[in-house]
Chain A
């Protein structure tokens, strides 16, 4: 039973080139996917892949240029005004920069109690009780209530952000690189907390990150994005260990593994990500792909099932065989 369904979502940003010319950036281009209730869905990609934009479109923090998003059977893209606001409470987001995601002029008590007071008009003592309960859920001690964000550590800020998100009792949480700016040991604490909350509250997660090892640890399924398109999608171990798309492979071989005994087999990936305003014709990855051929420039590949994953590549089958051999 899919909680979230994204159909052919496209988000285009107008941008200025130089002084006069205008350009368009197709940050997300025709993406479709489904997220099941209770699962952790991973979204990986590098900068410019569109993963952050996709997350925000699903939450309707950005209005898609075209395409649709269904949440629990409701078409979000059709809603507006009060209906949309009501749906918002069922899905929340945790950001990458914990400090910047908290109002520097509000203390922890105000930050966490605000959504509760605004939406449910609780009187101060009841609101206070809820705040304490929320803080307890995220492992924060009551003494932070009177503190301001700049007085807290990164990990504490992130916990406050999570408590705030949980205050409206959402069913779905978009986690946009929630631990990228945190130290390893703090990341472990936050990740453990997120998993525990998922179990206790029955949450569904969309986990956006560029950290493959984190995804391999956390996610059930994963989609790999490149320049606004999903290039591969499937079960997390299938994609990460047996992934077929050249970009998935290059990504995997590029990520350093904390194990000196593992030899590096670098899949050479040339150059850098092309300009977002002028993406390569056909398959966007072809300019850096060691397997690229003429067909790749002429025809854009679509996602199709190859072995255990869905891949958008014309030569997926031969690549799959090549590496196995």
Chain B
């Protein structure tokens, strides 16, 4: 079965002042049609870079060393800039973390949304504005017609984020990438926005790549999840499976580090050490220096992302029968 998005062994380096950072190392995962896929991990694990790689929005210092990204069967890495420009904003779109800096402060929001439509679908301005008003209504913004003339700074953070979502949905994309869409927003608003995403997923048959560091959001909104660590994909599977039986030691540690009522009175599990520098990443498995189950082989051999349970992959030598 072909998925909507297939990433295979994406390997990416960044040229920095201090050397070459090996930012992504053989990252692989799939997103099916109409599914919400969560990409979760801590700072520096590469989740945002992965999203930008899909949209080919990486800076010039990024060098793709290998791998493929297939969207609806077509290899995105082989496409020209012009072809990517046509895809971006229409078939694949993105919503960013901070809506205040994602909207142009000098244009009314109606114009900004309409522009997406005039550029990608060739509508004239009036038609585009009418569609924009319709989209505003769909994302739960009140007084859609009146809002068209407003400027971003006149709206609250939650409304701005909804405008971003409206803009992202304007051309009925197949894939919506949301990079920490609710981090800058209050909890009650966060709930509204996540509910909105799920409703839209049902209505439009949308696939969503949801990037977050919050496991609660993953548990509530994602069908499947990928856990990243230091540029590698540690574990991928259905949300219920990954939570019920986390395979990778990193995932296990993260789950146990979450504060919960049930853990009262006991120290939280913390992971010793720090996230490694990507300039000189650990050999073999990148997590081995901090892993309580690390064996000698872990420093020498890089584990493959293999399906150790049905529909549930993990990259860890423990499951490959290695004993030392």
Contacts and interface: CB of A to CB of B under 8 A. Distances in A.
A and B in contact, CB less than 8 Å: yes
Interface of A: 46-47, 153-155, 183-189, 191-192, 195-196, 210-214, 216-218, 237, 240-241, 250-251, 253-262, 264, 266, 269, 272-273
A254 B190 contact: yes
Given A217-B261, A258-B258, 4 more contacts: A154-B43, A185-B257, A216-B264, A255-B187
B42 interface: yes
Contact of B258 (A213, A253, A260): A213
B240 interface: yes
B288 to A, nearest CB: 16
Interface stretch (B111-119, B124-132, B214-222, B308-316): B214-222
A195 B282 CA distance: 32
A216 to B, nearest CB: 4
Contacts, number: 119
B219 A185 contact: no
The bracket for how many chain B residues form the interface is 35 or more
Contacts of A250: 188
5 contacts: A184-B254, A192-B268, A257-B220, A260-B240, A266-B195
A251 B158 CA distance: 16
Nearest to A44: B187
A154 B221 CA distance: 29
B interface, by DSSP: helix, strand, loop or mixed? helix
Nearest to B264: A217
Contact of A256 (B186, B216, B274): B216
Nearest to B240: A260
A212 B260 CA distance: 9
Contact of B220 (A47, A184, A251, A264): A264
User: Top 7 A-B pairs ranked by shortest CB distance?
Assistant: A256-B216, A217-B259, A254-B191, A188-B257, A258-B215, A188-B268, A183-B42
A216 B261 contact: yes
A320 B249 CA distance: 43
Nearest to B221: A256
A160 B271 CA distance: 19
A258 B243 contact: yes
B270 A183 contact: no
Contact of A259 (B219, B221, B269): B219
Nearest to B156: A272
Given A188-B257, A195-B267, A237-B261, A258 B219 contact: yes
A272 B158 contact: yes
B255 interface: yes
Interface string B183-213: 0001111111011000000000000000001
Nearest to A250: B188
Contacts of A240: 261
A256 B219 CA distance: 8
A260 B261 contact: no
Given A46-B188, A192-B267, A213 B261 contact: yes
A183 B213 contact: yes
B90 interface: no
B239 interface: yes
Contact of A185 (B214, B240, B253, B260): B253
Contacts of A210: 186-187
Nearest to A210: B187
B259 A216 contact: yes
A214 B261 contact: no
Contacts of A264: 220
Given A257-B219, A258-B255, A259-B243, A251 B270 contact: no
